[in-house]
Amino acid sequence: MKTIGVIGGMSWESTLEYYRIMNETVKRKMGGSHSAKMLVYSFDFDEVERLQHEGNWDELSEMMINAAHRLEKAGADFLVIATNTMHKLVDNMIQRITIPILHIVDVVGEEIVELGLKKVGLLGTKFTMEDGFYSNRLRENFGVEVFVPTNVERDVVHSVIYDELVKGIIKESSKKKFVEIVKNLELRGIQGIILGCTEIPLLINQRDVDIPVFDTTKLHAIAAVEFALNDD
């Protein structure tokens, strides 16, 4: 089993889910008392959130590279970034590290293609929904067209993520807002919805909507275990 290096704490609420899913997946696949071999570097998310909203991606890039180096030196065989938004910095990171990064968008893209879908909606932070790194990779590498909510709806999604979900606050009123946003995207022709922030599955899941839901946290964590157990 390869050792998984997890860059987490963005937020710890979703990193906890990664840890749980990875260990449950190893147990299911290997049986007995097996659990995942992993190293976790966990940020103080308050620092990360501040820099994100200041637009200081250069400093964030250096922080991520430093975290990657620490995990690499500690013995990680590959990296998992336990957040969608910070995949914005992957291109910078891979130039400075020697171990691979399991990209969350590629994991999601493979799942979308497997279901034969061509048009999907994307919920996430405004950085994820608006900066293009996510939708461009899906379009260019998988031929998937990505739709995002309206400006007002993007503000709602972003606010719920940072003001509630990263703090472990789950509100029924916010769930209703998210479900309504998904329904509005359905009217625009989407065939599935990406929960493109690793905290969103804490709020809504497949039971709440009629179209296929792509839970990025679960998909990424399971893919990490499969990669760790692969002999190649």
Residues with catalytic roles: 83, 197
Name residue 215's beta-bridge partners: 195
Cα pseudo-dihedral 171, 176, 178, 184, rounded to 10: -170
Q: Give residue 117's identity as a one-letter amino acid code.
A: L
Cα 179 from Cα 158, distance rounded (Å) = 15
Q: Where are the alpha helices (DSSP H) in 95-199?
A: 104-114, 126-130, 133-142, 151-163, 172-187
Nearest 5 degrees, angle CA 104-CA 226-CA 213?
A: 45
